[in-house]
């Protein structure tokens, strides 16, 4: 099986970044999102994401012409075009119901030999395919890219016993050779490997810094490079990942982690996060996150 054209559904933080990374590797991409409510241009969300990628600093498109490889559209009007794609990557909101509803629509139009994969951070593959038709499950993987997709080399790959071996091998080889990823095959557990550890670290550090009133810059100065972690530290990472993703991650983990798992004890969203989301502090994708809050109101995190 050869991967010549890819669809990415969900043009948010991850979907847009994955689309740009594919385009930089010379791969044509169909980038789809939902129709914005009340908007005149039905493709506005995906087009807006493409525009932001074009203007991004550092530039999201590394090669002249790479941006032209990405075709933006909405999922309602362009769903049939998934039949042109060899690999369909789902990167929509971290909610089981939304993802499964989309899979049913994908299954109605995809070519039987096309692979579908999810970029989920936490939801086990078995839950994602539960109740879906067998042919879909046989073509469905988790390909978990890390943020930002252009720079983070790790890609977690989860398959199941029913998956066609040629689909697994084709995606693994493509991610390794064309996308420059270090592919790690993971067991189908909540949060896989990196988030199982990373979310524990992040939640513990966030809770301690908030509880002890440590300013975000000071916390990150300690929790970043000195610990061998990128300079974002913990609050900077939350701003990059998206504050609005945090409750979805915790809900998903609490729904799947076994009783007594130590991660359960820290899988609570700090109260400040709910206030931040309500006030639009969703991180870099919105008006800013913890760093902006600190500037705006002196960093009241409790
Ligand atoms: P986001 O909120 O930035 O973007 C999600 C996009 O999906 C939005 O543009 C939304 O309009 C669109 N969408 C929602 N429902 C849709 C549907 N039915 N059809 C088409 N588009 C739809 O989310 P983000 O952060 O990009 O996360 C996407 C996925 O990637 C989630 O599963 C998340 O857990 C995972 N992930 C996120 C990372 C991060 O750092 N933000 C890192 C790795 C994985």
Domains, the chain, with CATH or none: 6-185 (3.40.50.720), 194-294 (1.10.1040.10)
3-state SS string for the chain = CCCCCEEEECCCHHHHHHHHHHHHCCCCEEEEECCCCCCCCCCHHHHHHHHHHHHCCCCCCCCCCCHHHEEEEEHHHHHHHHHHCCEEEECCCCCHHHHHHHHHHHHHHCCCCCEEEECCCCCCHHHHHCCCCHHHHHCEEEEEECCCCCCCCEEEEECCCCCCHHHHHHHHHHHHHCCCCEEEECCCCCCCCHHHHHHHHHHHHHHHHHHCCCCHHHHHHHHCHHHCCCCCHHHHHHHHHCCCHHHHHHHHHHHHCCCCCHHHHHCCCCHHHHHHHHCCCCECCCCECHHHHHHHHCCCCC
Residue 94: CB within 6 Å of ligand 1? yes
Mutate to test the pocket of ligand 1, among 7, 8, 13, 181 (most ligand atoms within 8 A of CB): 13
- The whole-number pLDDT of residue 227 equals 87
Q: What is the pLDDT of residues 204-244, one digit of tens each?
A: 999 999 999 999 999 999 999 998 888 899 999 999 999 99
β-pair type (140-145, 154-158)? antiparallel
Residue 98: CB within 6 Å of ligand 1? yes
Atom of ligand 1 nearest to the CA of 120: 32
Instruction: For residues 257 and 67, give the distance between their C-alpha atoms in angstroms, rounded to a whole number.
Output: 40
Is residue 301 over pLDDT 80?
no
Residue 147: CB within 6 Å of ligand 1? yes
Is residue 274 over pLDDT 70?
yes
Average pLDDT over residues 268-272: 91
Residue 282: CB within 6 Å of ligand 1? no
Average pLDDT, the chain: 95
Q: What is the pLDDT of residues 18-58, one digit of tens each?
A: 999 999 999 999 999 999 999 999 999 999 999 999 999 89
| Of residues 91 and 270, more confidently modeled | 91
* Residue whose CA is at the smallest distance from ligand 1 atom 14: 92
- The whole-number pLDDT of residue 64 equals 85
- The whole-number pLDDT of residue 299 equals 60
Is residue 300 over pLDDT 70?
no
Above 0.90 for ipTM, yes or no? yes
Residue 16: CB within 6 Å of ligand 1? no
**106: pLDDT confidence band, cut at 50, 70 and 90?**
very high
**76: pLDDT confidence band, cut at 50, 70 and 90?**
very high
């Amino acid at each position: 099986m050869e991967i010549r054209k890819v669809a990415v559904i969900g043009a948010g933080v991850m979907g847009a970044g994955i689309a740009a990374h594919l385009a930089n590797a010379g791969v044509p991409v169909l980038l789809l999102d939902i129709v914005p409510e009340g908007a005149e241009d039905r493709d506005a969300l995906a087009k807006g994401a493409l525009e932001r990628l074009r203007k991004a600093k550092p530039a999201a498109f590394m090669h002249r012409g790479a941006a032209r490889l990405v075709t933006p559209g909405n999922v309602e009007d362009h769903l049939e075009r998934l039949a042109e794609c060899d690999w369909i990557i789902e990167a929509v909101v971290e909610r089981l119901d939304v993802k499964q509803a989309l899979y049913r629509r994908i299954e109605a139009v995809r070519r039987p030999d096309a692979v579908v994969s999810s970029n989920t951070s936490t939801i086990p593959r078995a839950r994602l395919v539960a109740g879906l038709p067998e042919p879909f499950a046989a073509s469905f993987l988790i390909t978990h890219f890390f943020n930002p997709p252009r720079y983070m080399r790790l890609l977690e790959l989860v398959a199941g016993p029913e998956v066609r071996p040629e689909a697994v091998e084709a995606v693994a080889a493509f991610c390794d050779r064309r996308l420059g990823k270090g592919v790690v095959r993971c067991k189908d557990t909540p949060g896989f490997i990196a988030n199982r550890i990373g979310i524990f670290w992040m939640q513990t550090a966030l809770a301690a810094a908030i509880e002890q009133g440590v300013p975000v810059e000071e916390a990150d100065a300690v929790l970043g490079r000195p610990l061998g972690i990128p300079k974002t530290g913990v609050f900077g990472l939350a701003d990059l990942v998206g504050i609005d993703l945090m409750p979805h991650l915790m809900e998903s983990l609490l729904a799947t982690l076994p009783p007594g798992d130590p991660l359960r004890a820290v899988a609570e969203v700090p109260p400040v996060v709910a206030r931040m989301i309500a006030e639009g502090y969703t991180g870099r994708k919105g008006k800013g996150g913890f760093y902006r809050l600190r500037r705006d109101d002196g960093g009241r995190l409790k």
